[in-house]
């Protein structure tokens, strides 16, 4: 091999080694950079208190207790709707109450879950997450601590009543039940912090005061 050819081969080899070394450094830098990027983006920031919804103890109590209060109104309505010979206007009202209050129960349950608590309030000591929408709450569960809540004896009276007597009893009981819900909603407006909970409390007052007036009218006509 000539000296000139040998020099060409040696020069080409040296150049190749430099290129490979450059690629290796570049790849190492890119890999390090990518690893840093993955590490940075893969760690999610912890949820802040704001993400969980701004609220206080009054908001929590309102949601937990109103879930049970609404559930009892639905139970009362179901009992009435299972009867025959009930005034059609009273039937319509019972259906209206069910249609309005079940979505509100669902909304309040979502808040309680978001706020990281159980469905039971500390004053009740009963897990309402285990209650179905139609299940009533007896005084032994703490329901007597909430205004307007029905006792088991009152439920039994409603179950046994028939026809016009049942419609009249339902209206009388529901008026008192609604008044209790209005009182609870007013407490939330006064003491609560969460804007959505306060807005729902205002809606409950408006809706249920209107229904109270309608029930009083129906009761006078029976």
Claim to verify: residue 12 and residue 69 sit in the same structural domain: no
Claim to verify: residue 70 and residue 178 sit in the same structural domain: yes
Claim to verify: residue 182 and residue 76 sit in the same structural domain: yes
- Asked whether residue 129 is assigned to any structural domain, the reply reads yes
Question: Domain range spanning residue 208?
Answer: 57-221
The CATH number linked to 190 is: 1.20.1260.10
- Asked whether residue 49 is assigned to any structural domain, the reply reads no
- Asked whether residue 50 is assigned to any structural domain, the reply reads no
Claim to verify: residue 102 and residue 203 sit in the same structural domain: yes
Instruction: Provide the pLDDT for residue 168.
Output: 98
Claim to verify: residue 12 and residue 118 sit in the same structural domain: no
Claim to verify: residue 205 and residue 142 sit in the same structural domain: yes
Claim to verify: residue 161 and residue 217 sit in the same structural domain: yes
- Number of domains forming the structure of the chain: 2
Claim to verify: residue 107 and residue 199 sit in the same structural domain: yes
Claim to verify: residue 110 and residue 176 sit in the same structural domain: yes
User: pLDDT per residue over 20-67, tens digit each?
Assistant: 444 444 444 444 444 444 333 333 333 444 444 799 999 999 999 999
Instruction: Provide the pLDDT for residue 145.
Output: 77
- Asked whether residue 48 is assigned to any structural domain, the reply reads no
- Asked whether residue 46 is assigned to any structural domain, the reply reads no
Claim to verify: residue 98 and residue 189 sit in the same structural domain: yes
Higher pLDDT, 145 or 133: 145
User: pLDDT per residue over 155-179, tens digit each?
Assistant: 999 999 999 999 999 999 999 999 9
8 A C-beta contact, residue 173 and residue 136: no
- Asked whether residue 212 is assigned to any structural domain, the reply reads yes
Instruction: Provide the pLDDT for residue 116.
Output: 84
Claim to verify: residue 5 and residue 110 sit in the same structural domain: no
Q: With 60 as the cut, is the pLDDT of residue 73 above it?
A: yes
* pLDDT over 70 percentage in the chain: 64
Rounded Cα distance between 104 and 97, Å, is: 11
Claim to verify: residue 87 and residue 195 sit in the same structural domain: yes
**Average pLDDT rounded to a whole number, residues 90-118:** 94
| pTM score of the predicted model | 0.69
């Amino acid at each position: 091999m000539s000296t000139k050819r040998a020099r060409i081969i040696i020069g080409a080899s040296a150049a190749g080694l430099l290129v490979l070394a450059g690629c290796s450094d570049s790849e190492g830098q890119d890999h390090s950079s990518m690893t840093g990027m993955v590490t940075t983006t893969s760690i999610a920031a912890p949820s802040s208190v704001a993400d969980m919804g701004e609220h206080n103890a009054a908001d929590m109590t309102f949601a937990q207790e109103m879930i049970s209060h609404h559930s009892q109104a639905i139970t009362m309505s179901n009992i009435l709707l299972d009867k025959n010979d009930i005034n059609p206007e009273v039937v319509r009202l019972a259906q209206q109450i069910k249609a309005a209050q079940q979505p509100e129960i669902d909304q309040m349950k979502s808040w309680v879950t978001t706020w990281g608590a159980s469905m039971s309030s500390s004053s009740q000591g009963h897990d309402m997450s285990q209650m179905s929408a139609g299940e009533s709450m007896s005084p032994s569960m703490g329901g007597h601590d909430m205004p307007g809540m029905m006792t088991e004896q009152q439920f039994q009276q409603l179950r046994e009543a028939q026809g016009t007597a049942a419609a009249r009893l339902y209206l009388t009981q529901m008026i008192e039940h609604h008044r209790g819900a209005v009182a609870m909603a007013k407490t939330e407006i006064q003491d609560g912090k969460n804007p959505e909970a306060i807005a729902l409390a205002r809606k409950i007052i408006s809706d249920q005061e209107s229904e109270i007036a309608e029930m009083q009218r129906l009761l006078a006509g029976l």
